[in-house]
A = this chain, B = another copy of it.
Amino acid sequence: MVEYRYTDLDDVFHALADPTRRAMIAGLSKSELTVSQLAAPFAITLAAASKHIKVLEHAGLVVRTIEGRTHTCRLDAGPIHAGMEWMRHYEKFWNERLDILEGLLLAEDTKRSRTKKKGKRK
């Protein structure tokens, strides 16, 4: 009854840290997809997509069903929920932050404190 599937926040957050994998998850949230279908939207090889899917599988986010030569993937949001649970502890700091922000707005000192440049390779 207690199916223990090994899940680890390291693996979950790492899996979610890649835009390609997040996009794959988005796709899987609409329907089950084969490996080829998952790979199709991206300018990467099937082998690369296969690796991404393995990362998602390893994090427990994706479950694979093999029928003949096609591998069908479906989303398992359990680990996502676990990640949310971890984050929820810090939600109160979001509210505090809003209070601070409000104060800053009043003081009219709301300049963008971080100016990031996006140079990620993909």
Q: A residues touching B (Cβ–Cβ < 8 Å)?
A: 2-10, 13-14, 16-19, 22, 25-26, 29, 58, 60, 63, 75-101, 103-105, 107-108, 112-114, 116, 118, 120, 122
In the bound complex, CA of A17 to CA of B81 (Å) = 15
Say what secondary structure dominates the interface of chain A. helix
19 intermolecular pairs with C-beta atoms under 8 Å apart: A2-B98, A2-B99, A2-B101, A4-B100, A6-B112, A9-B16, A9-B17, A9-B108, A13-B14, A14-B14, A16-B87, A77-B97, A78-B95, A79-B104, A81-B87, A81-B97, A82-B105, A85-B101, A86-B108
In the bound complex, CA of A85 to CA of B42 (Å) = 24
